Amino acid sequence: MDPSRAEAVKNAVRANFDASPHHYNEFEQSTGLFAFLCSELARQADVASGMRVVDVGCGTGISTGVLTGIVGEKGEVTGIDLSPGMLAEARRRHPAARFIEGDAEKLDALLGPGSQDAVLYNACIFLLPDAPASLRGARSILKGGGTVAMNFIAGAHADGKELFTELFPEWTGGMTFPAPRFPCDTSKLGEYLMGAGFRDIRSGFVDKEMGLDGLRRFYSVPAQSASLYPKLGTAERKAAVGRMFQLAQERIARSASMRWKWLVGRK
């Protein structure tokens, strides 16, 4: 991506997340999605007591709290985020934790080389225009044998079918809606990991039952609605998502879930 375009994307991401803290808190209270994802990602990355862990894209501190509980008093979690608004909420929730406002694509400028046991990207790697640069930085700050782990949205499903490509046209009489789009090409993350010098790369999937209303709440968060309607303002995006799911309610699903893919590599 062109540098000027990448900077514009990061500015837009920052603005969207600055507008999102209370939306994320309400959403998490309702679904527990991000704590669930972080717990699973930490398990896959072998995060344990006493470790020093970086929580990239820490947001309001949901994952920071999960990781702090795992590493305990002898460990340390450093949360990094580009959004001052999200960090303000994270610091309020976890006043004793360490937080850095900074660019995830420049991790090697934020933390010392070989200083960390694990770097986790919980629900954020897909927002980075230059994910390879971030992964190179992650490898730089990791100790030998340290792990990097990430996850990303692999689909939203209802009644066992993909929400955007299979069911929305059926539910809405053929009317189609935009599928989520992100700055990072997630299909290349395994390639990016190898290019950054990581080895022993593993991957898998995890599903979280959400219900149709849970999916609506997720895509109504300003930072997430931007992935569907990037050219609309915050209020317009929320209204568009509401209309989309209102039409979907005409065919109430028996079940609705999100599928996330995780990848883990070792330095």
User: For residue range 66-100, what is the model confidence (pLDDT) as tens digits?
Assistant: 999 999 999 999 999 999 999 999 999 998 899 99
Domain, as residue range, for 128: 3-157+182-211+258-266
Q: Are strands 116-121 and 142-158 parallel, antiparallel or unpaired?
A: parallel
**Does residue 76 form part of some domain?**
yes
Q: Which residues are CB-neighbours of 32 under 8 A, at least 6 positions away?
A: none
**Does residue 146 form part of some domain?**
yes
User: For residue range 164-182, what is the model confidence (pLDDT) as tens digits?
Assistant: 888 777 766 666 778 888 8
* pLDDT beyond 70 at 56: yes
pLDDT attached to residue 175? 67
**Does residue 29 form part of some domain?**
yes
CA 240 to chain centre: 22
Give the Cβ contact number of residue 186 at 10 Å: 18
Mean pLDDT of the chain: 91
User: For residue range 101-148, what is the model confidence (pLDDT) as tens digits?
Assistant: 999 999 999 999 999 999 999 999 999 999 999 999 999 999 999 999
Q: When comparing pLDDT for 53 and 14, which is higher?
A: 53
pLDDT attached to residue 96? 84
pLDDT attached to residue 159? 82
**Does residue 56 form part of some domain?**
yes
pLDDT attached to residue 100? 98
The model's pTM is 0.93
User: What share of the chain in percent tops pLDDT 70?
Assistant: 96
Give the Cβ contact number of residue 112 at 10 Å: 9
Beta strands in the chain (DSSP E): 52-56, 76-81, 98-101, 116-121, 142-158, 161-162, 199-209, 256-266
Question: Is the Cβ–Cβ distance between 155 and 163 less than 8 Å?
Answer: yes
pLDDT attached to residue 129? 94
**Does residue 218 form part of some domain?**
no
User: For residue range 182-201, what is the model confidence (pLDDT) as tens digits?
Assistant: 889 999 999 999 999 999 99
Find the angle CA(200)-CA(202)-CA(208) to the nearest 5 degrees. 155
Nearest Cα neighbor of 65 from 107, 35, 108 is 35
The number of folded domains in the chain is: 1
**Does residue 150 form part of some domain?**
yes
**Does residue 49 form part of some domain?**
yes
Instruction: Please report, for the domain that includes residue 44, its CATH number.
Output: 3.40.50.150
pLDDT attached to residue 203? 98
**Does residue 227 form part of some domain?**
no
pLDDT attached to residue 67? 98
